[in-house]
Amino acid sequence: MEPITVELEGTLQPDGSLLLDRKPDLPPGRVRVILRSQVTAEQRFWDTMNAIWEGQKARGHVPRSREEVDAALEAERQGWEEHQQTLEQIQDESRKR
């Protein structure tokens, strides 16, 4: 005899119990339960980010201001610009020889 299969959704409670969205249409008796999380990768990402941010907040971390980030980016760009100019100067000198 082929087993009856019913697929339901529900919520796993913190205590490990399962709250089904509806009553299964099966006779009483033993069943096999297979659980598959429906949490998306995006939800896991934001859960992880929120945990990181909460941890930082608890440790007293103060994020950089917009101005500080912009200043750091500008300094980085300036450093690369100077590097590029140095490389071009070296190339010009080598061409002259």
Residue 97 has a pLDDT of: 81
The whole-number mean pLDDT for each consecutive block of 10 residues of the chain, a chain of 97 residues, reads 87 94 93 89 94 97 97 97 95 90
Q: How far apart are CA 19 and CA 13, in angstroms?
A: 7
Q: Position of tokens 């929120």?
A: 50
Residue 87 has a pLDDT of: 96
Residue 3 has a pLDDT of: 82
Pairing mode of beta strands 10-12, 18-20: antiparallel
Residue 4 has a pLDDT of: 87
Helix (H) or strand (E) holding 85: helix 66-96
Residue 54 has a pLDDT of: 96
Residue 37 has a pLDDT of: 87
In this structure, is the dihedral angle defined by the CA atoms of residues 73, 74, 75 and 81, taken in order, positive or negative?
A: positive
